[in-house]
Amino acid sequence: MAAEDVLLFVNAAITATGQREFHTDAYEQRLSLDFLHAYLLGNYRDLYAATLALDINDHNAALIIRGLLASAAEVPVEQRRREGALIAARLRLLPPQRVYALFGALRRARINNRRTRAIMRDWLAARPDPTFDAVKYRAGMKSALRHGHLRPAQEELGPFLFAPGSRPRYTAPLLETWRRAHYEQAAVYELPFTVAEGFAAKHGMDRAVFLDRITPRMTRLERLRLQTSASALGAGSVATDLGRLPLTRLATYVLGLPLDERVARRTELTGALRAAAARTAGRAAGTWGRLSAVLDDSFSAYASGQKRRRPLAVALAAHFLLEALASGYTPLWTSGRDDALLAFPYGATPLGARILDALDTTPSAAPDQVVIVSDGWDNAPPGLAAEVLRVWHERLDPAGRIAIVHLNPVYDATGYEVRRLSPAVPTAGIRDAEDLPSLVALARFATGRTGLPELRAHLEARVTAFLAPPRTEAPR
């Protein structure tokens, strides 16, 4: 039961973000997720902290850190040190805006114990460019310094954050650029893009000219987000190397394009997706044997306005990653279409029929593994997938010759878990296709055939690797 509780939480922490899904609204999502966090923190605190070393999403990582910092009074010293190390390591991986938002939540909740202040101090001290943070995340840094009773890393940051009009000029170049940008348009193009946007609006600068000149200051994701709108305005310089983007993010971008544009850019988009998949697969490329994939592109893969086409993006990214990992690969979309690049959410979810197609092969051509990527709402007809999998495991393949795993990108708030297709098939939550290899390994714990000792050993190994210092090559 303890192992099931922990796996239930891990699947939720991977998939749930507290936002509306296709079948449940945002309030249900947040209520369900808050209960799971409180339950794990109260009953399995050490395992709750250890999940920071897993591939959980940033939203839940921040919630775990907040929960650990808010309730440490009766925790043994050694356990607090371990939690502190896990928190510090996870904070280094979170985007800075997410960390500053977390610090703001700690301030509003009046969580201000000594450990919290020490963690805030160490994270701020480790920031590579405090002046950049002061300009780009000014409100967040200001709030964190106040809440932690901390001094800024540089002397000028104090006046800049708390009394910006008190100095006629700054010696730090970026701070001085920010000051000049209030009255000098040329200085706007030397600022980070998100800060420069506000000054451009203040000065009434032409949007197309602004985007053309600010392009060198954009990140890859900012260029991707603005590529379409910039092109419509005639700002052709806003472009990015699609092949260098994260695989799931690239799949989301592709699905946001009109179908006719995907057709026109087929070579470019397919090449970028395969390059991203090959980079993700790394040395494991071609080592997974023969694979068949059942991929859900039914109407529910649209998700919601908050998570638009996210389940479909995971399925599309998984398709290209499995293609890279396999020595032989057969994709089966629920819609029956065979052109992955033109995928869009449509129709019912005949998972049972597609699983039959994946398993209906001669022994010599049978796959070594079947991977199902779906939200688990089998409805054409309802329950067929579960019955197919039951008969397959009980009658046709009791020895488990073909491994079957279900990866679900959607959290079911009413069931406090990701929906399973069958008790005989391991199910794991997935948010980014890049995590697919490690989640396939984690899914073996979800069938009830392994217990808490094995799960603890797995978590301990992940924690040890997570906290290990980065390896450096010896000088030649």
Is it the case that residue 251 has pLDDT exceeding 60? yes
Residue, of 459 and 171, whose pLDDT is higher = 171
CATH of domain 249-467: 3.40.50
Q: What is the pLDDT of residue 459?
A: 82
Helix H, strand E, coil C: the string for the chain is: CHHHHHHHHHHHHHHCCCCCCCCCCHHHHHHHHHHHHHHHHHHCHHHHHHHHHCCCCHHHHHHHHHHHHHCCCCCCHHHHHHHHHHHHHHHHHCCHHHHHHHHHHHHHCCCCCHHHHHHHHHHHHCCCCHHHHHHHCHHHHHHHHHHHCCCCCCCCHHHHHHCHHHCCCCCCHHHHHHHHCCCCHHHHCCCCHHHHHHHHHHHCCCHHHHHHHHHHHCCHHHHHHHHHHHHHHCCCCCCCCHHHCCHHHHHHHHHCCCHHHHHHCHHHHHHHHHHHHHHHHHHHCCCCCEEEEEECCCHHHHCCCCCCCHHHHHHHHHHHHHHHHCCEEEEEECCCCCCHHHCCCCCCCCHHHHHHHHHCCCHHHCCCEEEEECCCCCECCECHHHHHHHHHHHHHCCCCCCEEEEEECCCECCCCECCCCCCCCCEEECCCHHHHHHHHHHHHHHHCCCCHHHHHHHHHHHHHHHHCCCCCCCCC
pLDDT tens digits, residue range 48-95?
999 999 889 999 999 999 999 998 777 888 999 999 999 999 999 999
Q: What is the pLDDT of residue 298?
A: 94
Residue, of 212 and 299, whose pLDDT is higher = 299
Model pTM score: 0.88
pLDDT tens digits, residue range 159-194?
999 988 788 889 999 999 999 999 999 999 999 999
Average pLDDT in the chain:
88
Q: What is the mean pLDDT of residues 31-53?
A: 93
* Domain boundaries for CATH 3.40.50 within the chain: 249-467
